[in-house]
Amino acid sequence: MKVKEIMDKEFIVVSAGDKVVDVSMKMEKTRKFTTPVVDDDMKLVGWVTSFDVMRGLRDGLESVSDIMHPTEEIVYVNENDPARLAVLETAHNKLVSIPVLDDDGRVVGVVRSFDIVETLSQLYEIKVSKIFEAMNQELKGVSWDELMEAAAIITRRRTGKRIKPAEYEERIKNSTFGEAIWATGGLEKFFVGLIAIGELVIARKIARARK
**Model confidence over 23-34: pLDDT tens digits?**
999 999 998 889
Which of 37-51, 104-118, 138-152 has the highest average model confidence (pLDDT)? 37-51
- Please report which residue ranges of the chain form alpha helices under DSSP H: 20-30, 50-59, 83-92, 113-124, 128-138, 144-159, 165-174, 177-184, 187-210
Task: Find the mean pLDDT for residues 144-162.
Answer: 90
Looking at the DSSP assignment, which residues form a beta bridge with residue 113?
A: none
Q: What is each CA distance from 59 to 23, 54, 129, 158, in whole angstroms?
A: 15, 9, 57, 61
The pLDDT assigned to 62 comes to 92
Q: Nearest-CA neighbor of 40 among 18, 15, 63?
A: 15
The whole model's pTM is what?
Answer: 0.64
pLDDT, residue 64, reads 96
Q: What would the pLDDT profile of 1-16 be if each residue is shown by its tens digit?
A: 789 988 889 899 999 9
The pLDDT assigned to 211 comes to 64
| Alpha carbon separation from 159 to 151, 153, 162, 201, 203 (Å, rounded) | 12, 10, 8, 19, 21
- Once rounded to an integer, what is the mean pLDDT over residues 116-133? 83
Cα(196)–Cα(67) distance, integer angstroms: 53
Q: At what angle do helices 144-159 and 165-174 cross, to 10 degrees?
A: 90
Strand partners, 98: 111
Binning pLDDT at 50, 70 and 90, where does residue 48 land? very high
Q: Is the pLDDT of residue 210 over 80?
A: no
Pairing of strands 77-78, 97-101: parallel
Q: Are strands 107-112 and 97-101 parallel, antiparallel or unpaired?
A: antiparallel
More confident residue, 4 or 211: 4
